[in-house]
């Protein structure tokens, strides 16, 4: 088996083209969508959302093509269903509530145990899977990724608006998601036994209804031989997706150079990344000291530079990071729109770009 392969899951919002509000047409879009090759169109927590997963890819170019192809498939299916596909972390206008009339037993178990947490979600993220040879290596990769989770979040932040108002956060999605009892940066793991004991204790407490509800920013995949990284908002542009995935892969294969970070300081650094994105200040996950968030992004590229160079992707990643320096993260680009309605129209257009 080839290890350190990459696959991604892209989650999108479905909106009505007239009202610009979320519309519960995911079952219809999924029915229409014809995903070629290894692409897989899936439902999400609410019927206002739709997801497309790539297959397992071995090169940056292959992933880039599948990401664009996946967006193309969903754009066409959404158009045919009478709605529009939007790449944003949260609905800018309206709310994507619980599934109307859902008869899914698992959903009802979550609704009973977690109550109002289920309402008003509609959060759309990017999940990156990197192939690893064992669960132990997945957990070792999780430990390596922990200090860089705030940076990955800042680079991807693309959800400043909710209910028609600017939340003041670059990634409101991450703040909404942090309400769940098992979310945010994972603990530092001592190995598979430590992980399994912790998850079972959380199930015993009913904080989790099952292992699929492990919503940490990094986790061993329950279904694939991968480490799954879930920290990012869904990016506006297709071009941003493979670059984020490439950074995640490079972190998995790079030896850690930073000492272990404290859980509380790391969580504070993630909060700061949620608020400021890559265009403001970042908190050092060791000391909490503030510095320009973009400097931390440059440090990340330097940290994984050898892995990127080995793959021939260093210059591609550097170009994208420089583009972000001049154009801002998705949240900064959203805020340049004069009103929420124009923003949704812009996001519809941006989601179609390069497909």
pLDDT at 165: 94
The stretches in the chain having pLDDT less than 70 are 1, 96-104, 119-121, 258, 355
- Report which of 355, 349, 347, 28 is spatially closest to residue 161, judged by C-alpha positions: 347
Q: Of all residues in the chain, what percent carry a pLDDT higher than 70?
A: 95
Tell me what pLDDT residue 355 has.
64
- What per-residue confidence (pLDDT) applies to 115? 76
Compute how many other C-beta atoms are within 10 angstroms of the C-beta atom of residue 86.
Answer: 26
* Residue 337: per-residue pLDDT: 96
Which residue, chain included where needed, has tokens 């997801």?
51
Summarised one tens digit per residue, pLDDT across range 286-300 is 999 999 999 999 999
Query: Rounded to whole angstroms, how far apart are CA atoms 50 and 14?
Result: 7
Residue 45: per-residue pLDDT: 75
Q: Which domains does the chain have, with CATH numbers?
A: 6-343 (3.30.590.20)
304: CB partners within 8 A, 6+ apart:
247, 250, 251, 254
* pLDDT at res. 104: 67
Question: Three-state DSSP class for 56?
Answer: coil
Angle, CA of 217, 221 and 223, to the nearest 5°: 145
pLDDT at residue 210 in the model: 83
Structure tokens, 108: 């009802």
What single-letter DSSP state applies at residue 58?
Answer: S
Residue-level length of the chain: 355
């Amino acid at each position: 088996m080839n290890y350190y392969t990459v696959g991604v899951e892209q989650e999108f919002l479905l909106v009505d083209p007239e009202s610009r509000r979320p519309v519960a047409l995911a079952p219809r879009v999924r029915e229409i969508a014809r995903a070629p090759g290894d692409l897989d169109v899936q439902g999400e927590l609410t019927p206002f959302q739709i997801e497309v997963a790539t297959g397992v890819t071995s090169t940056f170019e292959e992933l880039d093509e599948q990401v664009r192809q996946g967006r193309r498939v969903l754009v066409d299916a959404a158009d045919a269903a009478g709605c529009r596909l939007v790449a944003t972390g949260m609905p800018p206008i309206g709310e994507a509530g619980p599934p109307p009339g859902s008869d899914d037993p698992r959903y009802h178990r979550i609704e009973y145990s977690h109550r109002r947490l289920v309402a008003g979600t509609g959060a759309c993220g990017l999940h990156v899977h990197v192939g690893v040879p064992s669960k132990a290596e997945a957990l070792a990769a999780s430990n390596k990724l922990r200090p860089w989770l705030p940076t990955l979040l800042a680079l991807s932040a693309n959800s400043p608006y909710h209910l028609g108002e600017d939340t003041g956060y670059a990634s409101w999605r991450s703040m909404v998601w942090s309400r769940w009892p098992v979310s945010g940066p994972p603990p530092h793991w001592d190995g598979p036994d430590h992980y399994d004991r912790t998850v079972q204790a959380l199930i015993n407490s009913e904080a989790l209804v099952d292992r699929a509800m492990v919503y940490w920013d990094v986790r061993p995949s329950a279904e694939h031989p991968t480490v799954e990284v879930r920290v990012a908002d869904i990016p506006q542009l297709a071009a941003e997706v493979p670059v984020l995935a490439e950074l995640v892969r490079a972190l998995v294969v790079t030896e850690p150079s930073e000492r272990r970070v404290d859980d509380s300081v790391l969580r504070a650094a993630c909060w700061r990344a949620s608020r400021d994105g890559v265009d403001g200040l970042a908190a050092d996950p060791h000391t909490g000291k503030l510095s320009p968030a973009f400097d931390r992004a440059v440090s990340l590229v330097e940290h994984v530079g050898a892995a990127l160079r080995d793959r021939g992707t260093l210059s591609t990643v550097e170009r994208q990071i420089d583009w972000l320096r001049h154009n801002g993260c998705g949240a900064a680009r959203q805020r340049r729109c004069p009103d929420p309605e124009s923003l949704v129209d812009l996001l519809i257009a941006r989601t179609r770009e390069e497909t």
